[in-house]
Structure 1
Amino acid sequence: MAVVNRARLVLASSSPRRRQLLAMFQRPFEVQTSQADESVPGHPHPAELVRILAERKAGAVLQRLGGHDTAGDPVIIIGADTVVALDGEILGKPRDHEQAFAMLSRLQGRAHDVYTGLCVLARDNDGAIRKRQGFSRTRVHMSSLNPQQIYAYIATGEPFDKAGAYGIQGYGSVLIHHIEGDYFTVVGLPLHQLGRYLDELGCPLLDPQNRPAE
């Protein structure tokens, strides 16, 4: 196995939340939006959907950087995708205030699932491609909310770029009673799973070389 600890690290996502989480580890990385097609035919299970889209996003960026048949500097691409599912139905990002209110009205007082798919592609300096892929699921229990509370949350503007119309790491934290599973899955980047994949690929997140000089 080629050593890729000093590989070029690329996050295939424009999500500011994923960017902030990865930046905690003080390892230089770049952000490239995948622009991958996110349409998937049929009605796949949410776990399968996020696996497909995470791989598609990572693959699109890898191809843009040189493809699967080109040797070059080692590069590692991180792709992720997150969905909210209630009774098996996927809830995307709300288009407007009315849709945000409808989503939150359905979620309030109930439990739902958040799935995040993760795909890490590593191109070694000999051009070989290695892949780690999977998903993480967390059960989220939202508090009972009255319409005034829902409208007050929507007024913050936070729901509109969030699957399921809420963000657990922001104002939406006051809506969540408790979770069962990994908090970072709900934010959009399961760090335990990511750390395990990167360890296996020879590019650990917890690396003393990542710390800035004192």
Structure 2
Amino acid sequence: MTRLLLASGSPSRLRLLREAGITPLTAVPAVDEEALEAAHPQATVRELVTLLARAKAHAVLPRVPALLADEDTAAEVVVVACDSVLELEGSPVGKPHTAERTRALWQRMAGSSPVLWSAHWVGVLTRDTADCGDATGPGDSARPAEADGPDRAAAGWRLRDSREAAGQTRVHLASPTERELEDYIATGEPFEVAGALTIDGLGGAFVRGIEGDHHNVIGLSLPLLRDLLADLGVPWTSLWNRPPA
């Protein structure tokens, strides 16, 4: 039996997987995103979003045994970690958090066509008869697990292999009126989403069109995830219809 563990607290990512026939376990990673960004001032947006997804994965890996306390039959665990960042005029734009920052951001990007990046880190953990230590250093883009240093993930588990990749989707935005923008800000919806925009919520009316995978804008590209899983030897359909976590 293979279980999928989503290393994310995003309701949108969880809903995407459930609607695709997969009911994952979930764990919210503790990662200081602003500190990580500050530590890599020269990183491109693609590099930054990949670093963030990788950090989230490694924050969750040591917790696998506890998360699977009632899942003794699971022989493998697929860990999926994602992060999304908007690229606007060549610079990264994450979650605005406040009304003031949301307002200033939308005033900059209204009517423009920024790129939304969503990075995916996917690793396969298998049970290990030896007592293993905690997760160690980060991996590298689209490379096997040896890039992650020692292949130990957590006590009783071994990181068999991993992959990472980032998808991009260009988003063509409308120009909300002043009232529309203030009403949108009042809902609080844009505060905790990358680039202060969504296509699966109240902000969808402000998106005129996209170029690329729409799942990617929501935060998890199902086609890209399927490809990464296939490269790791995990059939997409083998994860369908899992019992509720």
Is the shorter-chain TM-score for this pair beyond 0.5, marking a shared fold? Answer: yes
- Pick one of 78, 81, 94 that aligns with 1:79: 81
SS of structure 2 residue aligned to 1:184: helix
Task: Letter of the 2:61 partner, please give it.
Answer: L
Please state how far the C-alpha of 1:128 moved relative to its aligned partner. Answer: 4.6
CA distance in 1, matches of 2:110, 2:81: 30
CA distance in 1, matches of 2:94, 2:22: 31
Please state how far the C-alpha of 1:8 moved relative to its aligned partner. Answer: 2.3
CA distance in 1, matches of 2:240, 2:176: 47
Match in the other structure for 2:177? 146
After superposition, give the CA deviation of every residue in 1:79-130 in whole Å (9 maximum; x if it has no partner).
0000011111222222322211111111111110100000001112353520
Query: TM (normalized to structure 1)?
Result: 0.86
Task: Letter of the 1:34 partner, please give it.
Answer: P
Q: Give the alignment's Cα RMSD to 1 decimal.
A: 2.1
Please state how far the C-alpha of 1:207 moved relative to its aligned partner. Answer: 4.1
Structure 1 residues 154-163 or 34-43, which shifts more? 34-43
Structure 1 residues 47-56 or 155-164, which shifts more? 155-164
Structure 1 residues 102-111 or 158-167, which shifts more? 158-167
SS of structure 2 residue aligned to 1:56: helix
Matches within 5 A, 1:45-124: 45-65=44-64, 73-124=75-126
Task: Give the direction of change, closer, same or farther, for the CA distance of 1:143–1:137 in structure 2 (3 Å limit).
Answer: same
Match in the other structure for 1:43? 42
Unaligned runs of 5+ in 1: 1-5, 67-71
CA distance in 1, matches of 2:13, 2:6: 8
Percent identical pairs in the alignment equals 36
Say if 1:122 and 1:129, in contact at 8 Å, map to a contact too: yes
Please state how far the C-alpha of 1:197 moved relative to its aligned partner. Answer: 1.4
CA distance in 2, matches of 1:31, 1:186: 20
Query: TM (normalized to structure 2)?
Result: 0.76
Please state how far the C-alpha of 1:209 moved relative to its aligned partner. Answer: 6.0
Match in the other structure for 2:17? 22
Please state how far the C-alpha of 1:32 moved relative to its aligned partner. Answer: 0.5
